[in-house]
Amino acid sequence: MAAVVGSTCTELGLAVPRISIEPGRAIVGPTTFTLYRAGTVKTVRVDTADGGTAERRYVSVDGGMSDNARPVLYDADYSAVLASRKSEDDAVLSRVVGKHCESGDIVVRDVYLPADTGDGDLLAVPGTGAYCWALSSNYNYIARPPVVAVLDGTARLIIRGETEEDLLARDVDAASARPPEPLKE
C-alpha cells in the first residue's frame, strides 16, 4: 500500500503522507468464532408493523452481551450455525439471545437454525475475533470465557476463562471494610 500511495503521490506531484493502518478486524475477525451452548428454546407471538401478530423463535445461549457487546453497541450483524451435530430438520427463522435479561441482549437478530435445535446444542457465531473479547465485561457478574487457539487440529488454551474466585477477588470483606468518610459541608 505504501508503494502505491508513494507512486501515485509522485505522479500527482504531492508530498507522501504518513500512513497508519489498523487492520485488526479485517485480519483477525474472520478467523475466529464464538462457541455458545444453547439453553431454552421458545416460540412467542409478537406484534407486527401491520397490526397483526407473528411467531418468533428464541434460542437462548450461555453468553451474550458480556462477551459480544457489538450487536447492542453498534447493531453489528452476525450469523450462527449448529456446530455440535448434523440435523436434517427444516430451518426455522430464529433469534439467538443472551442470558442477561436485557432487551438488547441479542447475539444474532435473525438466522435460520434447524427446527430441532435445543438445550445443550453448540452454536458457532463466526467473525467475532477482532473486538469481541477485548470488549467483553463482567456484566451481571458473569465470568469472561476462555480463548482457545486451534492449529492443525490441535486446540491450545491461550487465555483461561474467569472463575467465580476471579470475580470475587476484588470484593472487600464486609467485616474489615471501613465506613465511608462523612461528607463535609
CB 35 within 8 A of CB 107: no
DSSP H/E element including 147: strand 147-151
Where residue 140 falls (left for φ over 0; alpha for ψ -120 to 50; beta otherwise) is: left
Tally the residues of the chain. Answer: 185
For cell 445461549, what's the residue? Answer: 61
Active site residue 101: yes
Task: List residues bridging with 82 in a β-sheet.
Answer: 123
Cα dist. 185→73, 75, 180, 182 in Å? 40, 46, 15, 10
Q: How many CB atoms lie within 10 A of CB 142?
A: 20
DSSP string for 88-106 = -SPEEEEEEE-SS--TT-E
Of residues 101, 134, 174, 183, which has the active-site annotation? 101
Residue 90 half-sphere exposure, CB side, CA atoms within 13 Å? 2
DSSP H/E element including 56: strand 53-61
**Which residues are designated catalytic?**
101
